[in-house]
Amino acid sequence: GIPVHLSPASEDEVEGFLATRADMPAADRRLAAHLSEGCPGRAMGLDLEAARKQRRDAAEWLASLAGRAGGKPNYEDIMARTEGLARGEDNLETVVAVLYSMVEDLLHLQAGRPPLRNVELESTLRPLASRLDWAWVSRASVRLDSLQRNLRRNANRQLALEALASILAA
């Protein structure tokens, strides 16, 4: 047979699909469409509460990186969270992907060029974008992208955790 390649559906199309086939509030349809990457089937099967929790946790982690009043990252928090990942409390690949999307959003906010991938967290990300240094955010973006690629290639989990901690503590 001839292979058929389908383009991802737009968020509006996925949201419309969900409106006709899923009994969920509009805010949930919007979030599911956003997280589905253009795949209506994926949108139907998402655990939205878990996705919201992952995003809130990642935003809190980034807030700890913005530092306390002295402007220094909260190293204890970074280490505690990476130790939690080492224990398997969250999926490392998912955490890295969420952090990467938020760091990219920080770059967009700093450059004044939305739209954001995590639009539901704009009120949290906007103040972070003004407090975090452009060089750090840019460097973190490149390093998280590299870590994400390495994880797809089955990188050693412990080395990946150490890389994540060093990216965030730098």
Confidence of residue 164 (pLDDT cuts 50, 70, 90): confident
Least confident of 22-31, 96-105, 116-125: 116-125
Confidence of residue 170 (pLDDT cuts 50, 70, 90): low
Percentage of the chain beyond pLDDT 90 is 26
* More reliable by pLDDT, 41 or 66: 41
∠ CA(37), CA(38), CA(40), 5° rounding?
110
pLDDT tens string 3-26: 877 788 999 999 999 999 989 999
pLDDT tens string 48-58: 998 888 888 88
Tokens 């955490």 belong to: 95
* More reliable by pLDDT, 164 or 109: 109
Tokens 């349809």 belong to: 29
pTM for this structure? Answer: 0.76
Confidence of residue 121 (pLDDT cuts 50, 70, 90): confident
Q: How many CB atoms within 10 Å of residue 89?
A: 10
pLDDT tens string 68-109: 434 566 677 777 777 777 776 667 888 888 889 999 999 999
Q: How far apart are CA 14 and CA 106, in angstroms?
A: 26
Structure tokens at 154: 């089955």
Looking at residue 66, what is its pLDDT? 66
